[in-house]
Amino acid sequence: MSTQTPEMSRKMANAIRVLSIDAVEKAKSGHPGAPMGMAEIAQVLWGSHLSHNPKNPNWFNRDRFVLSNGHGSMLIYSLLHLTGYDLPMEEIKNFRQLHSKTAGHPEYGITPGVETTTGPLGQGIANAVGMALSEKLLGQEFNKPDHNIVDHFTYAFLGDGCMMEGISHEACALAGTLKLSKLIAFWDDNGISIDGHVEDWFSDDTPARFAAYGWNVIANVDGHDTAAIEAALIAAQNQAKTVEGKPTLICCKTVIGKGAPNKQGTHDVHGAALGADEIAATRAALGWTEEPFVIPADIKAAWDGTAKGAELEAAWDAHFAAYRAAYPAEAAEFERRMNKQLPTGFAEKLQGVYAQIAEKTDAVATRKASQNALDALAPLLPEFFGGSADLTGSNLTNFKGCIRVKPGVWGNHLSYGVREFGMAAMMNGMALYGGYLPYGGTFLTFCDYSRNAIRMAALMKQRVIHVFTHDSIGLGEDGPTHQSIEHVPSLRIIPNLDVWRPADGLETAVAWGESILRADGPSALILSRQNLPCVAQLNQAERIAKGGYVLKDVDNAQAIIIATGSEIEIALKAQQQLAEQGISVRVVSMPCTSAFDRQTPEYQNSVLPRNLPAVAIEAAQPDFWHKYVGRGAVIGMTTFGESAPAKVLYEYFGITAEKAVEAVKQQLA
């Protein structure tokens, strides 16, 4: 319950307003409308109910807070500054400037207390669903009848734009099905977006929509009445703790830009500075007499959350110490996983996995090789959390002994349904939360649905693994709608995303191993539907991990053929045919170009000597490969595919050993 007087609550909310308008005005850029309109909601939640410690933003059992409407970034920056995080007033003054901690949209890893990067609307609420899922699952896994060490809420603010984005449907529908009762979302229902009043393009019955998802909906709350907001919040918290608890949507009717007498309630206040005259009028209307960026001492003291935060963490620390005494193994495992540390000796144990996989010499699809790797890796990684967007039987993302998540039932594999974007953003939320290492599968061509969440994982440097199967025209009869042409090269150009397209079982296992070992970004595994022969040897595992290596060398090589995945087989056939004609050619496998690019120049030159002409083969759009072959030839796809068996398609589109032979001979002519 709030301990503030109504008058102090009003002043605390107004502190958010004036900090927001001052920062936006100084920057001459930003979005003051949402911070001003949500000030009372923020004051109730952050001023009285949020369980957090500003001096330790990473305390395990803190409530998670996500500002899904990330354009309103000055709202969270104001809250972080006022409650005592390491965000001094100089950073507020430096809003939207180069290398400040107050970027235009909140960025994870830049600003203490920011749980996730938001701005692309709808993804924040999907991240929050992933966080709430992690909280529920970890509680089921680690809590004991006498010790609830994982026990907190996930809160999200979202606006009309988030509600309009389709990803909000994907993630929130699943949250309702899974009964993620500790998730509480506040909808800033102000009826305004950039284009103006939304009724001409957004007339959904949003409360009915969320009720249909299985949410607890508290409708028609006055978003400027702190008593009404608090009553709704307490009701949501109490409901969450019931046996049949549901996630809650609190629908807050607000006025965008509340406090600006001439611009509130209009789109003019959404995404532009108020201007000096309107700021003066706003200050007068609020009764705020302080100079810009000055907060009176009594308001600053009322906002300060450091003492309460220290008490909350100390109480949890004592609780966890008792838990550790009673359950030492579980406590150690919990800390390891929440610190995102891999099990002791994991890197060494990988070598055993590779040896086990290398023994399998039968031709298999790399999607099946991936499942074989998962079967070997899963016993080593209790934090593994798999899933698929309704394609488990095709992506083969399940592993021996995995348990499907169901409402109220712990598991480590989730059927996300046909929700590729929602899956990707939820995995980001899980990775940010800690405790689980998420991976999820779909067909490669549908990575387009997931793309912005993949990009966000790369931007936030999160260990998320995407499993993309049915990787090319090699999937055959499903035709051009499902045949990936441009997808692999387009994924490769996303900064900080490692894209692996392995050729056989060992390369696939190494791709998994390197993706798991990588702590600073996501990976994508590009896998075949069709069977591929075993080509790599166990003694090449270390070189496979470098992203590109000499798969099969010859004496006095005259040229190089570079290939990936299913086209390695074609490259090896071309090498043999050229050898029969007296032409010596090296075959280079390049399963991960970004990993190769991180190697030393000496290593790169040892694999791809500059004096040798090169030809690249990949059943994808060819332009990417010119960075390695220069003016050399690239055999690939410049059109969409066709519906036919894979073998027929490779012949029809000229992705053959014969074409590779011809291309090499032309380079040598």
H/E/C letters for each residue in 253-270? ECCCCCCCCCCCCCHHHC
Residue 321's contacts (CB-CB under 8 Å, 6 or more residues apart) are none
H/E/C letters for each residue in 480-531? CCCCCCCHHHHHHCCCCCEEECCCCHHHHHHHHHHHHHCCCCCEEEECCCCE
Distance between CA atoms of residues 421 and 380, nearest Å? 29
Are 581 and 527 within 8 A, CB to CB? no
Distances (CA, A) of 260 to 69, 268, 269, 496: 20, 11, 8, 42
Residue 355 structure tokens: 């040896």
Distance between CA atoms of residues 490 and 498, nearest Å? 12
Count of beta carbons in the 10 Å neighbourhood of residue 486: 15
Distance between CA atoms of residues 396 and 369, nearest Å? 9
Distance between CA atoms of residues 314 and 578, nearest Å? 71
* CA of residue 328 relative to chain centroid, distance: 32
Distances (CA, A) of 221 to 185, 188, 190: 13, 10, 12
Distances (CA, A) of 76 to 45, 192, 250: 12, 20, 19
Strand-pair partners of 388? 415, 441
| Burial annotation 76-88 (CB, 10 A radius, 16+ → b, else e) | bbbbbbbbbbebe
Q: How many CA atoms lie within 13 A of 535 on its CB side?
A: 31
Position 667, amino acid: Q
**115 classed as catalytic:** no
Q: Look at the alpha carbons of 466, 471, 475, 476 in this order and tell me if their dihedral is positive or negative.
A: positive
H or E element at residue 251: strand 248-253
Residue 395 structure tokens: 């992506």
Q: Which residue has the tokens 């939304």?
A: 198
Position 447, amino acid: C
Distances (CA, A) of 669 to 9, 563, 575, 666: 81, 22, 17, 5
Of 170, 420, 567, 618, which is the active-site residue?
A: 420
Strand-pair partners of 635? 617
Task: Give the phi and the psi of residue 178 in degrees, each rounded to 5.
Answer: -85, -5
Q: Which residue has the tokens 């120049």?
A: 601
Residue 203's contacts (CB-CB under 8 Å, 6 or more residues apart) are none
Distances (CA, A) of 291 to 19, 87, 248: 11, 20, 39
Count of beta carbons in the 10 Å neighbourhood of residue 103: 20
* CA of residue 272 relative to chain centroid, distance: 29
Q: What is the CA radius of gyration of the chain?
A: 28
DSSP 3-state of 651: helix
Listed in sequence order, the DSSP H helices in 380-460 are 392-395, 420-433, 447-460
Instruction: Provide the greatest CA pair distance for the chain.
Output: 91
Catalytic residues: 420
